[in-house]
Amino acid sequence: MNESAQNLRELSCADDYDPNSMPVSKAREVIARFLAPVTATERLNLRAALGRVLAEDVVSPLNVPANDNSAMDGYAVRFADLKGEGSVALKVAGTSFAGVPFQGALKAGECVRIMTGGVMPNGTDTIVMQEHVKAEQDRVTIGAGHKKGQHLRRAGEDLGTGQVALKRGIVLRPADIGLISSLGIGEVSVYRKLRVAFFSTGDELVSVGSQPKEGQIFDSNRYTLHGMLSRLGCEVLDMGVVRDDPMLLEKAFKDAASAADVVITSGGVSVGEADFVKVLLDKLGEVVFWKIAMKPGRPLAYGKIGHAHFFGLPGNPVSVMVTFYQFVRDALLVLGGANPVEPIPTFTATCSARLKKAPGRTEFQRGILTQDAAGNWSVRVTGEQGSGILRSMSEANCFIILPTDQGNVAPGSLVEVQVLEGIV
C-alpha cells in the first residue's frame, strides 16, 4: 500500500472522522494533506507568463530606481547653499529632465532645473519644489525652512540589486509582469500547467448538439467545469459524457488517471445511487466518499487513482460549482505550485431580507451584493436556492456563507459573503 492509501486508511479510524457528516473545514484539511505540487518547469516569454505560477524567485539585477532622482518638479540644490534664515539667490546652471540628465559639475551658488524623475546632478542633495521659489531669467530665489534630502527618491529605494522582487509560488498578475519588465527581464521560469481531465456521468445526459429524448437533459457540468478550470489556468482534457455503466466508467477512470494530474467527475457519487462507482474506485484507487455537512454539495468523493488526484463532485449543477470553489480550487492551486494559497476572501454585509436556514450544515446561498446611496453594502438571495437551479449561480455575484449552527437569518443581520469576481 502506498503512503497516501495508508493515510486515507488511518484517517478513517480517527475519532472525529464521520464520512456521513463531514464538516467543510475537516474535508479541506484532509485533502490538503495529500497535495504534492508539480515540479516540472518551463521558461516563457514574459507576456505568456500571465496567470502562471512563478517557479523561481525573481532577483533584481539592478537598483530601482537606478539613480537618485527627483520626486517633484523644481530645482536640485546643494543644501549647504541655502540659508537658515532669509533667502538666497542661486544661478540656474542647466536642466535635468527625465531621461536627459544634467551633464557636468555644479559649482557653489548654482542649482539645476529638474523635473520629476530627473537624475540628481553631481553635488546636489536636495530638491526645492518649483512652487517654493521665485524664478527670474537664470536665477531663482529660495527662502528658508527646507530640509536636507527633501523630495528625493534614492537609488535602490524600491528594490536593491540582488534583492528578491517576486517570490517563487506567486500567480503572476499584470502588476507582476510589469514589475519583472521594469527589471529588464524578458523571460521567466514557471511551473508547467496542471493537467485536469474531467467527464460527466449519467444515463440521462446528452451533449449540446444532440437531440434529448424524453427524460434526457443537456449536460451543463462539463461546460461550467471547463470554464472554472480554464480560469484557474489548467490544461483541460474534456472526456465527454460517460454512461452509468461499470465497464465504461472503469475505462474512463483509467484513461483519465493515466492522462492527467487530476481527475474530476460530476454525478454518481450519491450514496446508494451508484454504488458501483464506489466499488470501482475501491478497485482502481484509494477514494473516500463523504457526505459533507453543507448545502448544496453534500456528496463528495476524494482520493487517488494511481498518481492522479480524484474529485468526485455531486451531479447537481450548483453543487458542482460550490464544491469546486470550496474544495477543488485551493487544491488545484496548491498542486500547480502556488504558494501560499490564500482562501477566497470573505467579509460581512447586511442581509436585506430574511434567509431560511436550518442549523446543522454550512450553507452557501447565492447572493447579490449591492451598494446603497450611503455607500453601505447589503446582500439578498437570488431567489429559489435549489441545487439544480444554475440560474441562481449565473445571477449571483457572491456566496452568502451561513455557518453550521446558524438558524434563520433576520433582516438587517450581518452575514458572511464571498465575492465571486476579482479585479486582477
Q: Which residues bind ligand AMP (CB under 6 A)?
A: 200, 202, 204-205, 217, 219-221, 266-268, 270, 273, 314-317, 388
> Cβ of residue 222: shortest distance to ligand AMP, in angstroms?
6
Name the one range near Mg ion by CB under 5 A: 188-196, 200-208, 231-239, 246-254. Answer: 200-208
Q: Which listed option, Mg ion, ligand AMP, none, makes contact with residue 314 (CB within 5 to 8 Å by class)?
A: ligand AMP
The three-state (H, E, C) secondary structure of the chain, written as one string: CCHHHHHHHHHCCCCCCCCCCECHHHHHHHHHCCCCCCCCEEEEEHHHHCCCEECCCEECCCCECCCCEECCCEEEECHHHCCCCCCEEEEEEEEEECCECCCCCCCCCEEEEECCCCECCCCCCEEEEHHHEEEECCEEEECCCCCCCCCEECCCCCECCCCEEECCCCECCHHHHHHHHHCCCCEEEEECCCEEEEEEECCCEECECECCCCCCEECCHHHHHHHHHHHCCCEEEEEEEECCCHHHHHHHHHHHHHHCCEEEEECCCCCCCCHHHHHHHHHHCEEEEEEECEECCCEEEEEEECCEEEEEECCCHHHHHHHHHHHHHHHHHHHCCCCCCCCCCCEEEEECCCECCCCCCEEEEEEEEEECCCCCEEEEECCCCCCCCCHHHHHCCEEEEECCCCCCECCCCEEEEEECCCCC
Name the residue nearer to ligand AMP (CB basis): 146 or 222: 222
By CB under 5 A, is residue 267 in contact with Mg ion? yes
CB of 360 to ligand AMP, least distance (A): 21
> How many residues contact Mg ion, by CB under 5 A?
4
Measured from the CB of residue 299, what is the shortest distance to ligand AMP in angstroms? 7
**Partner whose binding site includes residue 63, from Mg ion, ligand AMP, none (CB under 5 to 8 Å by kind):** none
- Of the pair 244, 255, the CB lying nearest ligand AMP is at 244
Q: Which one of Mg ion, ligand AMP, none is in contact with 190 (Cβ closer than 5 to 8 A by kind)? A: none
CB of 364 to Mg ion, least distance (A): 21
Give the one entry of Mg ion, ligand AMP, none that residue 67 binds, where binding means its C-beta sits below a cut-off of 5 to 8 angstroms depending on kind: none
Question: Of 285 and 314, which CB lies nearer to ligand AMP in the complex structure?
Answer: 314
CB of 160 to Mg ion, least distance (A): 59
User: Which span sits near Mg ion by CB under 5 A: 18-26, 66-74, 173-181, 311-319?
Assistant: 311-319
Give the footprint of Mg ion on this chain (CB under 5 A): 202, 267-268, 315
